[in-house]
Structure 1
């Protein structure tokens, strides 16, 4: 299979709130919004998320437990300061990790964990796992 792109669509009753959150805090660009479905673009056109309200009978809402979106940024310390200064609660503290990043996490309006990180040199222990 040749895949042109891949993105995640999250089914929620909070489509508008989700859209506004990602625009305000992550600079998302709305590329499609019909009210019940919104497509958000981050940075280049290959980074997108979608949020939609249920449309089919019996369609379930997505579960946020265990779900994490990863955002690679140029300066994680700058983003940590900006987002905490804006009043967002940190659910994973800002730390250096031996596998090769420095990061922290917050949550979006749906309870999805958002891991924000910058790459750094991995420890010797983890270098062998990179391909």
Structure 2
């Protein structure tokens, strides 16, 4: 399993202010779905921060997102380990397959992969 990126998620109602603040550090908006906005570095596109008001389909806002190349493998490994699954593995309408798991410190991690287009 390969990690493609790790993104901190900030729960906030101040999306515009966050866009402006992180823009001062060189980050630019690369995605905005209304409830989640992702800012990235133009020179290093996997360097990202997401600002979320809530999560569209999950009961909690995750503390971070980890994109992997095989989300089904990650799900199997974490379930076998006994980790607490907070949100089940599912396909989302915006093109990702994901689940949430709680890490040993209590943080909620969104583990995701982009669905392949056939």
TM-score computed with the length of structure 1 as normaliser: 0.41
Indicate the structure whose relative CO is greater, using CA pairs within 8 Å and at least 6 residues apart. Answer: 2
Which structure: greater strand fraction? Answer: 2
TM-score computed with the length of structure 2 as normaliser: 0.45
Could you say which structure has the larger radius of gyration?
1
